[in-house]
Amino acid sequence: MLRLFVLQFRSTRLKPTECTLNWSQLSRSQSGSSSSVFGRNRVPFGGSLPRHKALNNSIPNQLTGLAFGARPVDPARARTLFTLNRLPKNVDMAGAIKGTQTPPIRTQSPAPLAQDFVRQQVAKQQRTNFHSTSLKTVVPSIMVANSVNKTALHPGGVQPQREHTEIEEELHDKAHIDYDRVAIVANPSVAALYEDALVYETGSAITSSGALSAYSGAKTGRSPSDKRIVKEEGSANEVWWGPVNKPMTPDVWRINRERAIDYLNTRNRIYVVDGFAGWDERYRIRVRVVCARAYHALFMRNMLIRPSREELEGFHPDYTIYNAGAFPANRYTSGMTSATSVAINFAEQEMVILGTEYAGEMKKGIFTVLFYEMPVKHNVLTLHSSANEGRNGDVTVFFGLSGTGKTTLSADPKRALIGDDEHCWSDRGIFNIEGGCYAKCIGLSAEKEPDIFGAIRFGAILENVVFDQQTRVVDYDDDTLTENTRCAYPIEYIENTKIPCVSTNHPSNIILLTCDARGVLPPISKLNGEQTMYHFISGYTSKMAGTEQGVTEPQATFSSCFAQPFLALHPMRYASMLKKKIEEHNANAWLLNTGWVGAGASTGGKRCPLKYTRAILDAIHSGELAKQEFEIYETFNLSVPKTCPNVPDELLNPAKSWNGTADFKSEVRKLGQLFMENFKKYEDQATAEVIKAGPHVCCCQKD
């Protein structure tokens, strides 16, 4: 039951200037301030006036019924903007219809509402949209009620709007979005998305840092087995078909697309977010996201590059994402293996999501699009990497899978961050694809990752985190919902960021990161062109023992190009492009192991200290490491420096630093065999030189 704020009228007809509402005073009164806040002859919420000061009810019965049913309420006593906006515009703040006499005090229940009057008021509400930032039609910033537009299926609604924005017309023509039934919220502000998430989405809350917390539902990570690429003439000969890119027929695509749009048409409101992928204006693509959750809209608003107001004028997307993740795919449709479907159509330039509300699917879907569009159409290399730039303009690119230190090492106080995850390398230099960062939060602390910790504030969105119900302080160590807790925030929230995220300088150093838990790979190795291709295609790191049932020793993990789930073309095409660019720009390539030294993780080794890893990076950036004398590390045929500034010499060669309980040569051979076995599936596309660049283990060798 709403508590009403009551103002005493000095007469039955007040001047408008005598009935001004101070909303800051109202909010203070709700938190327990005294009635003196309201001034003379005023009362706080929940209070009452003496009988001799009872107000003269001057409200027509239609207005009282519209606002609160059968309870007579003066417009000046409305508690919220929502209540005020429900009242007709021809009523002044004194509560009387302009041009009419003030009615007497009512002593009986109000008469039933006139149906014509109700329809008029709801129609006025429906013609406004307080979220919209559309540039073609300017509408008042008035809160919209939860009314439903009139359609054949909803004859009790209000009449459709006579005019529509350009975005609404485009969605109606292209996707048959029912703009007469669905409120299309175009490019909403952060504050508006916060409001909608809190009101309409279960599990949303504002945390103590100001970030919005959202819940992605049953799916708290990507579903790579449910990814599909539409097999059509234009791209069929380009795509790397197989376990990563499973084909979908155009007919099944149409079924899923219509299913997603039908779901969106059942919503009271949907969101449209427009943005760019790629900071270089020559190569960026225009992306439009159509979704049903404020959480998804805010996520993509952060992850895409946000257009200026001028750039939004006449914005027409190259690619459109229809996210109906709350609605399942039909598992009985041909080719569907579950109720989840993430499908991309390169010909139609669209993406459809069903059966998963995990926001990362949109981010990585656009990444897959860039892995196709950039090499095929522009001869630009797409990279799953972080990148930074030194004070002298030298650029370093870091490749690496999860847990290898890609984000940590690229965040260097002496260097400007270009991006932390997705980049493209063109003839003009390197540029970031995204306008935001998507950082892991598990175990996060201000001491370990001050930049990321400080970026979690208003405008950022936290996924699937656990927080204190009273203080709203997030517990970043709590993995109750998932270990894959995340935060998405605009990249400018990181202080040491290069904006725009573009460098016209070509990379000087290419660093392939690995986390070898066996302890047999050197902390740093210099690679030639063929070795770079081999290890880039292999994409090796380790899965730790104990992370899964029955895993008793470190497990080797290989992900081609350090990006296998997102690749659109064969890995050899990306590797060949990388080698060519390294040779053209005389860049150095390195294999940097941030894993264990002295022994394996389960046989007495220890993680390579971060201070030594950073010392190695400093030597790379200064050029000192390239000047050192190198020796060959057997089996893997890697060039290992004999010395490095500020790093113990014995640490640089695993054969010299080994003190584990397991036999060193045996561990080296085991890992070498795993590399060779993994690379067999790429040998049909690889040259003999690239195959020879990998480790060699004779089958007759015994442990």
Q: Could you report the per-residue pLDDT of 537-590, keeping only the tens digit for each?
A: 999 999 754 434 444 566 899 999 999 999 999 999 999 999 999 999 999 999
Q: Please report the pLDDT score of residue 549 as a whole number.
A: 41
Q: Is 421 a catalytic residue?
A: yes
Q: Is 286 a catalytic residue?
A: no
Q: Is 222 a catalytic residue?
A: yes
Q: Please report the pLDDT score of residue 218 as a whole number.
A: 94
123 in the same domain as 49: no
Q: What percent of the chain has pLDDT over 90?
A: 70
In a domain, 324, yes or no: yes
In a domain, 436, yes or no: no
Q: Quickly state the pLDDT bin for 433 (edges 50, 70, 90).
A: very high
99 in the same domain as 120: no
Q: Are 280 and 431 in contact (CB under 8 A)?
A: yes
Q: Quickly state the pLDDT bin for 13 (edges 50, 70, 90).
A: very low
Task: Single out the catalytic residue among 181, 231, 301, 486.
Answer: 486
The whole-number average pLDDT for the span 470-487 is: 96
The tokens of 484 are what? Answer: 């894959």
In a domain, 533, yes or no: yes
Q: Is 391 a catalytic residue?
A: no
Task: Single out the catalytic residue among 334, 402, 445, 480.
Answer: 402
Q: Please report the pLDDT score of residue 374 as a whole number.
A: 98
The whole-number average pLDDT for the span 44-50 is: 37
Q: Please report the pLDDT score of residue 82 as a whole number.
A: 43
Per-residue model confidence as pLDDT tens digits over 332-342:
999 898 999 99
Q: Is 227 a catalytic residue?
A: no
Q: Are 398 and 409 in contact (CB under 8 A)?
A: yes
Task: Single out the catalytic residue among 407, 485, 525, 603.
Answer: 407
Q: Quickly state the pLDDT bin for 699 (edges 50, 70, 90).
A: low
358 in the same domain as 329: yes
Q: Quickly state the pLDDT bin for 117 (edges 50, 70, 90).
A: low
pTM listed for this prediction: 0.77
Q: Please report the pLDDT score of residue 408 as a whole number.
A: 87
Task: Single out the catalytic residue among 364, 506, 581, 621.
Answer: 364
140 in the same domain as 273: yes
Tell me 187's DSSP state. S
Residue that terminates a domain, selected from 86, 111, 136:
111
Kindly report the CATH number assigned to the domain that includes residue 636. 3.90.228.20
92 in the same domain as 79: yes
Q: Please report the pLDDT score of residue 603 as a whole number.
A: 85
Q: In this predicted structure, which of 267-276, 454-463, 625-634, 691-700 has the lowest mean pLDDT?
A: 691-700
- Identify the CA nearest to 366 among candidates 300, 295, 456, 446: 300
The whole-number average pLDDT for the span 511-536 is: 97
The whole-number average pLDDT for the span 10-26 is: 40
How far apart CA 638 and CA 633 sit, in angstroms, is: 5
Q: Are 599 and 662 in contact (CB under 8 A)?
A: yes
Residue 231 has pLDDT above 80, yes or no: yes
608 in the same domain as 558: yes
Task: Single out the catalytic residue among 164, 288, 406, 498.
Answer: 406
Q: Quickly state the pLDDT bin for 329 (edges 50, 70, 90).
A: very high
Residue 393 has pLDDT above 70, yes or no: yes
The whole-number average pLDDT for the span 445-462 is: 95
Q: Is 274 a catalytic residue?
A: no
150 in the same domain as 129: yes
Kindly report the CATH number assigned to the domain that includes residue 296. 3.40.449.10
What's the domain count of the chain?
Answer: 3
Residue 86 has pLDDT above 60, yes or no: no
Residue 101 has pLDDT above 90, yes or no: no
How far apart CA 486 and CA 464 sit, in angstroms, is: 7
Residue that terminates a domain, selected from 111, 135, 161:
111
Q: Quickly state the pLDDT bin for 700 (edges 50, 70, 90).
A: low
Residue 197 has pLDDT above 50, yes or no: yes
Q: Is 440 a catalytic residue?
A: no
79 in the same domain as 99: yes
Residue that terminates a domain, selected from 44, 76, 111:
111
Helix, strand, coil share of the chain (percent; to 5): 30, 20, 50
Q: Is 42 a catalytic residue?
A: no
Task: Single out the catalytic residue among 421, 426, 503, 581.
Answer: 421
275 in the same domain as 150: yes
In a domain, 187, yes or no: yes
118 in the same domain as 91: no
129 in the same domain as 61: no
- What average pLDDT does the chain have? 82
In a domain, 304, yes or no: yes
In a domain, 485, yes or no: no
Task: Single out the catalytic residue among 131, 181, 222, 301.
Answer: 222
187 in the same domain as 44: no
Query: What is the CB neighbour count within 10 angstroms for residue 481?
Result: 15
Range of the domain at 51: 16-111
In a domain, 477, yes or no: no
Residue 156 has pLDDT above 90, yes or no: no
Residue 572, amino acid: M
Q: Please report the pLDDT score of residue 407 as a whole number.
A: 86
Q: Please report the pLDDT score of residue 160 as a whole number.
A: 53
In a domain, 149, yes or no: yes
